[in-house]
Amino acid sequence: MSEVLQEAADGLDWHYGVAREQYYPSDFGKKSGRRRCDLVLTPSGRELWGVEDTDLFTPADVCPANEAVWLEVKVAHQFAEGGRRHAGYGQQWRNKPVDALRKMAAEPMIHEAGLLLIAFTGDEAIIDADLEQFEDVLARKEVLAGFRQVRGFDIVERNSHTRCTVALWPTVLKSTDS
């Protein structure tokens, strides 16, 4: 996954500041058990500031954690090496993406977040059905997510994959209004 994640980060870097593998704000300062987020986007030229409060000594060009966009990235492959069906393909859609959405929604200092799924499949019909099934899993597990945004494109065949689809579900976070 790290190669795909790096390519996603490089592509986003054209328009945003991109920080990889950042600790969740409530885990800053902890010595162990810290959770990390795959990608954190800030306005271009502004570094992520993970501390909740800013003061007179905070650099002016930072982006507080609550103003950044936090993205958990999951990659799914329908086929394994040699074009064999990937035995864990269905599982890639169930637990980890659901856990990622729950983790982000529970973080009090994150106000903008989403799950970014990058899926490699044999054709568009497969991914369309899988996206529907994933949203059924979300409903059954009572995980709230916003309406997905999907973009797909054909790719040069590799391990029987001819389609790459990128789907983004924004998290439904707790209101920050008092």
Exposure string of 113-123, with b = 16+ CB inside 10 Å and e = fewer, is bbbbbbbbbbe
Per-residue confidence (pLDDT) for residue 1, from 0 to 100 = 53
Whether the pLDDT of residue 67 is over 80: the answer is yes
Quote the DSSP letter at residue 145: B
The bridge status of strand 112-121 relative to strand 16-23 is unpaired
- How far lies 132's CA from each of 89, 135, 143, 144, 169, in Å? 15, 5, 15, 15, 13
pLDDT tens digit string along 109-143?
888 999 999 999 999 999 999 999 999 988 898 88
Whether the pLDDT of residue 2 is over 70: the answer is yes
pLDDT tens digit string along 25-58?
887 667 777 788 999 999 988 888 765 556 667 6
Per-residue confidence (pLDDT) for residue 72, from 0 to 100 = 93
Average pLDDT of the residues in 4-13: 88
What is the reported pTM?
0.84
CA atoms of 26 and 173, how far apart (whole Å) = 15
* Range scoring the smallest mean pLDDT among 56-70, 111-125, 142-156: 56-70
